[in-house]
Amino acid sequence: SSPGSTMELVLLVLLLPMAALLLYQRSAAFQYFCKVAFFNIWIVTMATVLSPFAALRGRCVENMRLLRAAIRPLKHLYDIKIQVCGSEHLNIEEPYVIVCNHQASLDIMGMVEVIPDRCVPIAKKELMYMGTVGLACWLSGIIFINRQNTGDAINVISQTAETIRRENLRVLIFPEGTRNQHKSILPFKRGAFHLAVQAQVPIFPMVISPYWDFFSSKDKKFTSGMCTIRVLPRIETQGLSPKDVPGLTETVRNIMVDVFSEMSASHCKDPRPEHPLLP
């Protein structure tokens, strides 16, 4: 190749990063795509690096510590401050179910700040087939559920109810069943509440404040910001039966909707007093 074409190549190699940097500073949409891509690359890279270490221990809930440690740095890289209120409610020895609103994949940054040891999320089965990410999740004891197959989902819930009692596990579930960036909380699916009633364990509602100040996939916005997470007092299921599940589901959702609306307009306040149980 001629010296001229080599020079052109060198200039191109030097100019491309400069152009990308300029575009990153000037274009919110380009910044959004870069940050989302980096988020996904980070998750895949960490899963790939950690899976061999997790495999030495085999599939067990203790591997969740590795996943939590791998995800924690992201809040610093994105300059997202996470404030947690009410986490002391989770400091009990017994098993329980945490139900949380679901806005975006960013939720995992908040999740790792709050969930205690021996706590695993329940995730959609499709995640299990996502290469090393699926493998890392499986090795960490994450429970997979097939949302398309009701019979299979019911079986998983029955097995999970037995497992959490036997192994003193805690589980985290997003009862909306899908990501939601609207200004309210979607209707809840009942699986989490069937699980809590079947296992006769308490439910802890957890509410993550809206992201719209700093993140929106619709508006292609991803800046630095602040997120508040509130863990609310326990709601008992002792003595409840499957017929109580619809009422329990609505009661918990109404509490979370109220708190979400309050958080949309204000900063973290003291955890509210015990909520009345179902009549």
Query: pLDDT-based confidence at 4, cuts 50/70/90?
Result: low
b/e code 70-100 from CB counts within 10 Å (16+ = b): bbeebbeebebebebbbbebbeeeebbbbbb
275 versus 243: the higher-pLDDT residue is: 243
Which residues are 208's β-sheet partners? 229
- Tell me if the domain spanning 13-266 has CATH number 3.40.1130: yes
**DSSP designation for 222:** E
Mean pLDDT of 226-245: 96
pLDDT tens digits for 12-38?
778 888 887 888 788 889 999 999 999
- pLDDT attached to residue 270: 44
pLDDT tens digits for 146-170?
877 777 777 888 888 988 989 999 9
Query: pLDDT-based confidence at 110, cuts 50/70/90?
Result: very high
